[in-house]
Structure 1
């Protein structure tokens, strides 16, 4: 049996944020939306102590590589479309369990 594992990590710049509490109020809804709408596992994964930067990661496992790429495209589109953040960079990975 073979499966495909895909992940994407975003480096985002937050708007007018002055505290970690304000940062959480922006990042948590994004993470929740990714999980709810795209069916991925998502979390804040980098820049945890910075007010205006965040690293958000998402991943999924599927039987088909094309499905993984389609979902990762949707995830990236959702993050890029959020008006309260500026997407600075996105990195992706795709691996097969047989690798």
Structure 2
């Protein structure tokens, strides 16, 4: 069994000056990520306007499948025109860890 995690640090548009506006950008992204059958949530920068950290976790029997799923999640976020992907932190854990 392999587990993989990714944390995406994103810059939100300038009009996200309130937490309500921030949620209006983050919620659709999290919902779209869940279509890849992963756990996804806003995990950091919770009180910062204009920034968000979105975490994703995936579990599979094959390390290659976990990597493919996380790659798909990264492409989805990077392809969103309303936000800018600043960085990605990824980890892969196997049975030996």
TM-score between the two structures when normalised by the length of structure 2 = 0.96
1:8 is matched with which residue: 6, 9, 27?
6
Secondary structure at the counterpart of residue 24 of structure 1: helix
Structure 1: give runs of 5+ residues left out of the alignment.
Answer: none
**CA distance, structure 1, for counterparts of residue 95 and residue 38 of structure 2:** 18
Number of residue pairs the alignment of both structures matches: 96
Report 1:1-99 matches (<5 A): 3-16=1-14, 17-36=16-35, 38-99=36-97
Q: Contact conserved, 1:15 with 1:85, CA < 8 A, in 2?
A: yes
RMSD: 0.7
**CA distance, structure 1, for counterparts of residue 92 and residue 17 of structure 2:** 36
Structure 2: give runs of 5+ residues left out of the alignment.
Answer: none
Shift of 1:18: 1.4
Could you list the structure 1 runs, at least 4 aligned residues long, displaced by more than 4 angstroms after superposition: none
TM-score between the two structures when normalised by the length of structure 1 = 0.94
Shift of 1:98: 3.0
Shift of 1:66: 0.4
Secondary structure at the counterpart of residue 18 of structure 1: coil
